[in-house]
Chains A and B, each alone.
Chain A
Amino acid sequence: MGKDAISVVRQACRKFDHDGTRILDILWEVQQRLGCVSGETMDLLAAELSTHRIEIEGLVSFYSFFSEEKKGKIVIRLCDDIVDRFAGIERVAKVFSEELGIGIGETSTDENFSLEFTSCIGMSDQAPAALINETVVTGLTPESARVIARSLKKNLDPSALVKKKGDGSNADGLVNAMVKNNIRKKGEVLLADKVPAEAGLRKALKKKSEEVIQEVLDAGLRGRGGAGFSTGLKWSLARKAKDTRRFVICNADEGEPGTFKDRVLLTERADLIFEGMTIAAYAIGSTSGILYLRAEYAYLLPYLERVLTRRRRSGLLGKNIGGKKGFAFDIRIQLGGGAYICGEESALISSCEGLRGEPKTRPPFPVERGFLGHPTIVNNVETFCCAARILDGGPRWFAAMGTAKSSGTKLLSVAGDCAKPGIYEVPFGIGVADVLDMAGADEPTIVQVGGASGEMLNRGSFHRKICFEDLSTGGSFTTFNASRNLLKIVDYFLEFFVHESCGYCTPCRVGNVFLRERIQKIMEGYAVKADLDYLKDLSRTIIMTSRCGLGNTAPKPVLSSIDQFPVVYASLLGDGGEGLQAGFSIQKALEESRRIAKRTSMIYDPFYGGSSDESMA
């Protein structure tokens, strides 16, 4: 290990006071400056931080954005969301591959470039998209990919790729992104043109903290991440906890495929988010907060840091906030490492503590024992924004919108085959058909509400309503036209879960692999009716025995697609035929022999002597 590398590691450790809970930040520094966290680096980090190499290795191997192998100076991460796939990310990948002379998962020999696929980066409304280091590039075509690759080869500068900046704060010098907000419908609560600054906080500080919680309860606010737990109840439980060191955490780990509404709130409503967190801190009696920002949104970090600095200067963070004597609160931003599971609140807490992002055993729940063992509330970005608006507009105003059990408005991230993909702020209770109309959906045939862990709908279900009583969603709403292959969508979701399962518990770690295997068997045309029973049976075991929400919902794409599209499945099932045992694929069975013999079969391959058909591989 060179002297320079050693000093990079030591500097990073000093920067964070050798604090083991800040190890993710330290790993970010090291990864960015050295291109990897090698075995030697792990040894040094372990010594510097008084921990063990295996703990560091555990982290580096858990988070997608860290790597033990050396990565190129420029890492191109192509978004592998289903919308991006249908929008042609494969063709874009091919161009990058040709231009840079490397395949997916490879690093160029000059160590300038790495090319890889990554899970949804929150740009489904402008797909295909990619992350080039922290720079986002959107609306990619094979042609634009070629221009980008050539420009990068020339100057190795991703920021130079941003020619035309996006709207709103995307054009801010610290964001400097070509990302478009695509705000298609503004509602009264979040995206209205006039959202008065700090009005909610000012009103809250005039009330007792119990009264603040009561207002949130009266408004009927429920968690916007999708689970729909009562926000007021969560706050009151944390407030009642004996331990008076309490934490407020904002979940900005927006990882559900097809969701991008927090991206827009983070740029256009950053103050409202922090205002909501500050109100929550006042309500539960907390002095410190964390905004957990997903690694994919690292491009927003400098901008958000500046908003925090400005708030500190204006007396909206720090001591005696808003002139309220004795009320002190501050917020730090924790950058994630690339792991969908960290959107689960207890896994997010683990990650904030510098651990592998694995869910914690519950009970105890975070409101009793959360961050570093102290009572903690974790709420979604949108939830904090709603809370701030409730304190300003009043619970009655808020509860008048939406349905009986789902008050207020909801941000939907609409993407897929439609004329107007983007953000729609709609009152809860809106019908699926209405959303499709607004978005100008093209021949909507399959609609996925709630992302990978959500529900798949056929045409006969478009009367259903978006609310906690019917279809709950964290915001993802994806429409597919009649040309899209249902099984490809299901297979994508399962691939996503296999990749993003933390692996802690058996059913989620292993079961999802088996689900995917069987869906692929159906795609290949070798499945029989019994395979559907197998899928349902396996799904049930995974749902009932998994340890957290990821495993509890991972089989949903399988079950809801079988339920909603039985005819599609039936058309793909066979009875074996040609005297062969049902479900047996002679081609698949031959693959191994072909590989070992390094030649094709005289009987089963029509072009004997050539290489085996690629489609069989």
Chain B
Amino acid sequence: MSNGIVFTIDGVEVKGNAGQTIMDAADQAGIYIPRLCDVEGLEPQGSCRVCTVKVNGRPAAACTQPAADGIKVENATLEILNWRRDLIRMLFHEGNHLCPICEASGRCELQAMGYRLGILQPAKYPYLQPVRPIDASHPDIMLDTNRCIRCGRCIRASKDIDGKNVFGYVGRGIHKRVGVNGKNLAQTNVHLDDRAIALETCPVGCIIRKGLGFFTPIGQREFDRAPIGNAIEKTAVKKVKK
């Protein structure tokens, strides 16, 4: 293979191809790098920064940083773990996240990431408790923006997969948020089959299907069964067995 590259993640040798990101190569090798804004099938944007790794000693987002031959990547060090915990806490504190009453509890990637990284109660920072609107204008879909983490997955899914522009970023700084293409969601051309509103697109409980709350019993929800990242790590176990 002419464009093959070899590098290490925490000392483990990883094979990849030129043009791949560190995240892609790591996924293939069954090494999980935590992430929220990046999801398979969408262009990475490097905004949540949870996938921050060190590349030859310098921090970079694994989802956008190209893999290169011979680089030394640090992923699961205590220093990086602490950064990631801080980022996850920031997202919890920025919005209004009430896990016990949230429809997404148990399948929420933010909640699952908190557990995976060892945060049981985010209490380090002050709660900003913003006043955010709920858009219930659409007959079948509801947006509870209290839970939005600005990952932009719905925006990219709408643009790049659905070929629409139902969602987009508006505002700046701490006031940056996801807006809809119209006065409210009902005014947009959103469709129930859109990838933008598919359950797996929104990592939290912001985009909600009306009439579809709490559909999986506690104990059987996605992250009740296995921690987030398990699907990727499982492939590594299989490879070792072979």
Chain B interfacial residues counted at CB < 8 A: 41
Seen from chain B, the residues whose Cβ lies within 8 Å of a Cβ on chain A are 44-50, 52, 59, 61, 64, 66, 82-83, 86-87, 90-91, 93-94, 125-126, 128, 150, 165-176, 179-183
Total A-B residue pairs with C-beta atoms closer than 8 Å? 114
Q: A54-B181, A361-B64, A514-B90 are in contact. Are A61 and B170 (CB under 8 A)?
A: yes
A39, A61, A545: the one within 8 Å of B87 (CB): A545
- A selection of 6 A-B contacts at a CB cut-off of 8 Å is A53-B182, A503-B174, A504-B47, A505-B48, A510-B128, A547-B47
Chain B residue nearest to A358 (CB atoms) is B169
Contact A54 B167 (CB under 8 A): yes
Contact A506 B48 (CB under 8 A): yes
Segment of A182-190, A311-319, A494-502, A601-609 engaged in the interface with chain B: A494-502
Interchain nearest-CB distance for B235 vs A (Å): 27
Query: Please, how many angstroms separate the alpha-carbon atoms of A507 and B91 in the complex?
Result: 9
Seen from chain A, the residues whose Cβ lies within 8 Å of a Cβ on chain B are 39, 52-55, 57-58, 61-62, 339, 356, 361, 363, 498-507, 509-511, 513-514, 517, 538, 541, 544-547
Chain B residue nearest to A359 (CB atoms) is B46
Q: A58-B170, A363-B66, A546-B49 are in contact. Are A541 and B181 (CB under 8 A)?
A: no
Query: Please, how many angstroms separate the alpha-carbon atoms of A363 and B68 in the complex?
Result: 12
Q: Which of B45, B47, B90, B128 has the most CB of A within 10 A?
A: B90
Query: Please, how many angstroms separate the alpha-carbon atoms of A202 and B180 in the complex?
Result: 54
Interchain nearest-CB distance for B42 vs A (Å): 14
Query: Please, how many angstroms separate the alpha-carbon atoms of A479 and B212 in the complex?
Result: 61
Q: Inside 8 A of A502's CB, which chain B residues have their CB?
A: 172-173, 176
Q: Inside 8 A of B90's CB, which chain A residues have their CB?
A: 506-507, 510-511, 514
Contact B183 A509 (CB under 8 A): no
3 smallest beta-carbon distances between A and B, as pairs: A503-B176, A54-B168, A52-B165
Q: Inside 8 A of A361's CB, which chain B residues have their CB?
A: 44-46, 64
Q: Inside 8 A of A507's CB, which chain B residues have their CB?
A: 49, 86-87, 90
Q: Inside 8 A of A339's CB, which chain B residues have their CB?
A: 172
Q: A541-B87, A545-B52 are in contact. Are A513 and B174 (CB under 8 A)?
A: yes
Chain B residue nearest to A510 (CB atoms) is B90
Q: Inside 8 A of A514's CB, which chain B residues have their CB?
A: 90, 93, 125-126
Chain A residue nearest to B50 (CB atoms) is A506
Chain A residue nearest to B159 (CB atoms) is A52
Contact B172 A55 (CB under 8 A): no
Chain A residue nearest to B94 (CB atoms) is A510
Q: Inside 8 A of B175's CB, which chain A residues have their CB?
A: 503
Chain A residue nearest to B128 (CB atoms) is A513
A52, A500, A503, A505: the one within 8 Å of B168 (CB): A52
Chain A residue nearest to B175 (CB atoms) is A503
Interchain nearest-CB distance for A365 vs B (Å): 12
Chain B residue nearest to A517 (CB atoms) is B126
